[in-house]
Amino acid sequence: GMAFHVDGDPSPNPVVHVTSGEHVRFVLRNEATGFEHDLAIPALGLALTPTAAGETRAASIRVPAVPGSFPYVCRPHAQMMRGTLVVADR
């Protein structure tokens, strides 16, 4: 099925760990022929525009200073493509 993957981690829709206050760059590379995907972390105001097969989009954010868990999702395929961004304290 459709899923997010992180380079070097074979598990689908992995938990992504970051540290509070750091700058993080998200890169969405769509390798799914015939489907558009996006990446959104609504609680952090991140929303990449839909990406066609073979395209790449990127965005950088500063991670919030407050630790917590934030869902990430592909909005068109939210039932299958979703995971959690975990912010740890420094």
What is the model's pLDDT at position 90? 84
Q: For the residues 67-89, what does the mean pLDDT come to? A: 97
Q: What is the pLDDT of residues 54-76, one digit of tens each?
A: 999 999 999 999 999 999 999 99
Q: In the chain, what percentage of residues exceed pLDDT 90?
A: 98
Q: What is the pTM of this model?
A: 0.92
CB atoms within 10 A of CB 11: 11
Contact 62, 27 (CB under 8 A): no
Contacts of 24 (CB under 8 A, 6+ apart): 18, 60, 61, 62, 63
pLDDT of residue 76: 96
